[in-house]
Amino acid sequence: MAKVQIVTDSAAKLTKAEIDQYQIKVVPLTVQIDGTIYQDGVTISAEEFLEKMQESDQLPQTSQPSIGAFKEVYDQCYQEDPDAAVLSLHLSSGLSGTVNAAAQANALTKADVHAFDTLSADRSEAFVVLAAAKAAQAGQSLEEVLKVAETARDQTYIFLSFRSLDNMVAGGRLSKTQGLIGNLLNIKVGAKVDEEGKVDVVVKGRGLKTIKAFNESVIEQMKGYKQMKAIGVTYTGIKDEAEEMVQRLNAIWPDIDILLSVATPIISTHTGMGALAILYEAE
């Protein structure tokens, strides 16, 4: 039975311990701020990205890894084990062209590469990657690992709230007029990543009570599942509120080790500062 090697991208919020334990190879996305290009997670951290985003007059740009960067990693996989299949799991195609770049790189390498769209991002993307990596480490076949990844993808959710519409306007998702009116009216937004892996606004309302009610509705939805498998909380600039959310969730699911972290650049660029995301895997 051929071994399965796991590759992903830096949009997946994985800890160093997880990467080391499951021997996951991570291809970094690139971020450009004020003309300077950084490798996500290599030459710039999520925390540093936030600082530079706040200081910049322009919205940072995030880009998928180059086809060449994928080829280099796939070639490394082939050198380590020519008989192994490579399962390359990536950021939602609704947010980035990363998975398409991975698929194109397959034609340039001797490795047997299978590109997989997680339809997710951040810690939820990591849930899918980890499920596949655990199955691969257990010696399951490519077909079996793919089934595990598909199940995890179907059971993974992202809900996020944010307080400013500036990044939505700069990213072209709202007109300047909509953004101006929204900010003047103190409009807050609750959103989710939908079945196509795109950010979909669920609710808009005035004041922080909108966000509070939105997060409460997410928690109530979470309570309705038969089993809660994993939870993550990510944030931009509101650490105290994020910590309070972790405490709230841990009071309900005390056996789950909830990862609290600063959101990856792909999420931060969409939401701006003051964002909170609840990410979970459940059946």
The answer, yes or no, to whether residue 179 has pLDDT greater than 60, is no
Angle, helices 98-105/67-80, rounded to nearest 10 degrees: 50
pTM of the model: 0.90
Token pair, residue 68, equals: 């060449």
What is the SS3 assignment for 253? coil
Write the pLDDT tens digit of every residue in 213-251.
Answer: 999 999 999 999 999 999 999 999 899 999 999 999 999
Tens of pLDDT, residue by residue over 66-88, are: 999 999 999 999 999 999 999 99
Report the distance separating Cα 57 and Cα 253, nearest Å. 41
Under 8 Å between Cβ of 13 and 4 = no
165 band by pLDDT with thresholds 50, 70 and 90: low
Distance between the two ends of the chain, CA-based, in angstroms?
Answer: 30
CA distance linking residue 56 with residue 92, whole number of Å: 26
Give the residue with greater pLDDT, 200 vs 103.
Answer: 103
Report which listed range, 186-190, 202-206, 248-252, is most confident. Answer: 248-252
Pairing of strands 275-282, 30-33: unpaired
CA distance 82 to 2: 10
CA distances (Å), 4 to each of 7, 68, 214, 240, in order? 10, 21, 40, 40
Determine the average pLDDT of the residues in 184-189. 58
